[in-house]
Amino acid sequence: MEKSELEKMLAGEWYYSLDEDLMAMRFATKRKTLQFNQAEGIEQRLDILKGMLGKFGKNSYIEPPFLCNYGEHIFMNDFSYINYNCVVLDNNHVHIGKNTMLGPAVQLYTAVHPLDAETRNKLQETAEPIIIGNNVWIGGAAVILPGITVGDNAVVGAGAVVTKDVDPFTVVAGNPARVIKSLPQT
Protein backbone atom coordinates (compact mmCIF):
# COMPACT_ATOMS: atom_id res chain seq x y z
CA MET A 1 0.00 0.00 0.00
CA GLU A 2 1.33 3.41 -0.97
CA LYS A 3 2.07 5.88 1.82
CA SER A 4 0.00 9.03 2.13
CA GLU A 5 1.76 12.38 1.77
CA LEU A 6 1.31 12.84 5.54
CA GLU A 7 3.04 9.51 6.23
CA LYS A 8 5.88 10.46 3.88
CA MET A 9 6.19 13.87 5.54
CA LEU A 10 6.44 12.43 9.05
CA ALA A 11 8.89 9.75 7.86
CA GLY A 12 11.25 12.43 6.52
CA GLU A 13 10.67 11.37 2.91
CA TRP A 14 9.95 13.54 -0.13
CA TYR A 15 6.30 14.58 -0.20
CA TYR A 16 4.09 16.88 -2.23
CA SER A 17 3.51 19.99 -0.10
CA LEU A 18 0.22 20.97 -1.78
CA ASP A 19 -1.42 17.60 -1.22
CA GLU A 20 -5.16 18.08 -0.72
CA ASP A 21 -5.23 16.34 2.68
CA LEU A 22 -2.21 18.27 3.97
CA MET A 23 -3.72 21.55 2.81
CA ALA A 24 -6.99 20.72 4.57
CA MET A 25 -5.09 19.96 7.78
CA ARG A 26 -3.17 23.25 7.56
CA PHE A 27 -6.38 25.18 6.89
CA ALA A 28 -8.07 23.61 9.94
CA THR A 29 -5.05 24.56 12.05
CA LYS A 30 -5.15 28.13 10.74
CA ARG A 31 -8.74 28.36 12.00
CA LYS A 32 -7.67 27.07 15.42
CA THR A 33 -4.71 29.43 15.68
CA LEU A 34 -6.94 32.33 14.67
CA GLN A 35 -9.36 31.38 17.46
CA PHE A 36 -6.45 31.05 19.89
CA ASN A 37 -4.94 34.39 18.90
CA GLN A 38 -8.30 36.17 19.22
CA ALA A 39 -9.44 34.49 22.44
CA GLU A 40 -9.81 36.91 25.33
CA GLY A 41 -9.59 34.51 28.25
CA ILE A 42 -6.74 32.29 29.37
CA GLU A 43 -9.03 29.29 29.95
CA GLN A 44 -10.33 29.49 26.38
CA ARG A 45 -6.77 29.69 25.06
CA LEU A 46 -5.71 26.68 27.14
CA ASP A 47 -8.67 24.65 25.86
CA ILE A 48 -7.73 25.46 22.27
CA LEU A 49 -4.09 24.50 22.84
CA LYS A 50 -5.06 21.21 24.50
CA GLY A 51 -7.20 20.35 21.48
CA MET A 52 -4.73 21.55 18.86
CA LEU A 53 -1.30 20.34 20.00
CA GLY A 54 -0.10 16.74 20.09
CA LYS A 55 0.69 17.29 23.78
CA PHE A 56 0.25 20.32 25.98
CA GLY A 57 1.84 19.83 29.39
CA LYS A 58 0.50 21.04 32.70
CA ASN A 59 1.36 24.58 33.77
CA SER A 60 2.58 25.40 30.28
CA TYR A 61 1.53 28.39 28.24
CA ILE A 62 1.86 29.99 24.81
CA GLU A 63 1.42 33.73 24.39
CA PRO A 64 -0.59 34.89 21.39
CA PRO A 65 0.01 35.51 18.60
CA PHE A 66 1.24 32.00 17.79
CA LEU A 67 1.40 30.30 14.40
CA CYS A 68 1.98 26.70 13.39
CA ASN A 69 1.29 24.49 10.38
CA TYR A 70 -0.39 21.46 11.93
CA GLY A 71 -0.28 21.76 15.72
CA GLU A 72 -0.73 18.06 16.32
CA HIS A 73 2.99 17.47 15.66
CA ILE A 74 3.99 19.76 18.57
CA PHE A 75 4.62 18.03 21.90
CA MET A 76 5.09 20.55 24.72
CA ASN A 77 5.97 19.19 28.16
CA ASP A 78 5.11 20.49 31.63
CA PHE A 79 6.10 23.93 32.92
CA SER A 80 7.17 25.22 29.51
CA TYR A 81 6.53 28.63 28.02
CA ILE A 82 6.47 30.15 24.53
CA ASN A 83 6.48 33.94 24.30
CA TYR A 84 4.78 36.20 21.71
CA ASN A 85 5.09 35.77 17.93
CA CYS A 86 6.48 32.24 17.86
CA VAL A 87 6.28 30.37 14.54
CA VAL A 88 6.49 26.57 14.47
CA LEU A 89 6.54 24.90 11.06
CA ASP A 90 5.68 21.48 12.46
CA ASN A 91 5.76 19.48 9.25
CA ASN A 92 7.51 16.89 11.40
CA HIS A 93 7.52 16.38 15.16
CA VAL A 94 8.65 19.18 17.45
CA HIS A 95 9.36 18.13 21.04
CA ILE A 96 9.72 20.84 23.68
CA GLY A 97 11.07 19.63 27.01
CA LYS A 98 10.00 20.29 30.57
CA ASN A 99 10.82 23.71 32.09
CA THR A 100 11.81 25.07 28.69
CA MET A 101 11.27 28.67 27.65
CA LEU A 102 11.21 30.21 24.19
CA GLY A 103 11.60 33.97 23.92
CA PRO A 104 9.57 36.23 21.64
CA ALA A 105 9.66 35.62 17.88
CA VAL A 106 11.45 32.26 18.11
CA GLN A 107 11.09 30.23 14.93
CA LEU A 108 11.23 26.43 14.72
CA TYR A 109 11.44 25.09 11.16
CA THR A 110 11.14 21.38 10.37
CA ALA A 111 10.56 21.85 6.62
CA VAL A 112 13.49 21.19 4.27
CA HIS A 113 13.25 22.67 0.80
CA PRO A 114 15.35 21.28 -2.05
CA LEU A 115 18.36 23.25 -3.21
CA ASP A 116 17.82 22.47 -6.89
CA ALA A 117 15.14 24.51 -8.60
CA GLU A 118 13.67 21.64 -10.63
CA THR A 119 12.72 19.63 -7.53
CA ARG A 120 11.63 22.76 -5.68
CA ASN A 121 9.36 23.74 -8.57
CA LYS A 122 7.61 20.36 -8.27
CA LEU A 123 6.66 21.44 -4.71
CA GLN A 124 8.55 18.53 -3.20
CA GLU A 125 10.06 18.85 0.26
CA THR A 126 11.04 16.80 3.27
CA ALA A 127 10.81 17.52 6.99
CA GLU A 128 13.07 16.65 9.92
CA PRO A 129 12.08 16.68 13.60
CA ILE A 130 13.29 19.21 16.16
CA ILE A 131 13.97 18.11 19.73
CA ILE A 132 14.44 20.69 22.47
CA GLY A 133 15.48 19.23 25.82
CA ASN A 134 14.54 20.02 29.39
CA ASN A 135 15.48 23.28 31.16
CA VAL A 136 16.40 24.99 27.89
CA TRP A 137 16.23 28.73 27.28
CA ILE A 138 15.96 29.95 23.68
CA GLY A 139 16.40 33.69 23.35
CA GLY A 140 14.21 36.00 21.30
CA ALA A 141 14.24 35.77 17.51
CA ALA A 142 16.39 32.63 17.48
CA VAL A 143 15.85 30.27 14.56
CA ILE A 144 16.13 26.49 14.99
CA LEU A 145 16.58 24.67 11.68
CA PRO A 146 15.30 21.20 10.67
CA GLY A 147 16.70 18.11 12.36
CA ILE A 148 18.25 19.98 15.29
CA THR A 149 18.46 18.66 18.85
CA VAL A 150 19.05 21.17 21.64
CA GLY A 151 20.37 19.32 24.69
CA ASP A 152 19.15 19.63 28.26
CA ASN A 153 20.12 22.78 30.17
CA ALA A 154 21.39 24.55 27.04
CA VAL A 155 20.92 28.23 26.23
CA VAL A 156 20.47 29.61 22.72
CA GLY A 157 21.27 33.30 22.50
CA ALA A 158 18.87 35.85 21.06
CA GLY A 159 18.99 36.05 17.28
CA ALA A 160 21.02 32.84 16.91
CA VAL A 161 20.55 30.66 13.84
CA VAL A 162 21.03 27.08 14.99
CA THR A 163 22.34 24.92 12.15
CA LYS A 164 23.94 22.13 14.23
CA ASP A 165 22.92 20.19 17.34
CA VAL A 166 23.49 21.98 20.65
CA ASP A 167 25.19 19.98 23.38
CA PRO A 168 23.72 19.92 26.90
CA PHE A 169 25.04 22.57 29.31
CA THR A 170 26.30 24.89 26.57
CA VAL A 171 25.50 28.42 25.46
CA VAL A 172 25.39 29.05 21.72
CA ALA A 173 24.99 32.35 19.88
CA GLY A 174 25.52 33.94 16.49
CA ASN A 175 24.80 33.12 12.85
CA PRO A 176 25.53 30.34 12.46
CA ALA A 177 25.31 29.58 16.17
CA ARG A 178 28.50 28.44 17.82
CA VAL A 179 29.42 27.49 21.38
CA ILE A 180 30.45 30.54 23.36
CA LYS A 181 30.38 29.05 26.84
CA SER A 182 30.04 25.82 28.78
CA LEU A 183 27.73 25.76 31.78
CA PRO A 184 28.40 23.97 35.07
CA GLN A 185 26.73 20.57 35.24
CA THR A 186 24.80 20.40 38.48
Catalytic residues: 113
Rounded Cα distance, 139 and 118, in Å:
36
CA distance 23 to 19: 6
Pairing of strands 155-156, 170-173: parallel
- Do residues 72 and 52 touch, judged by C-beta distance below 8 A? yes
16 within 8 A of 124, measured Cβ to Cβ: yes
**What amino acid is encoded at 183 in this protein?**
L
Q: Considering only CA atoms, which of 176, 102, 127 is closest in space to residue 19?
A: 127
- Rg over alpha carbons for the chain, rounded to the nearest Å, is 17
Q: How far does CA 29 lie from the centroid of its chain?
A: 14
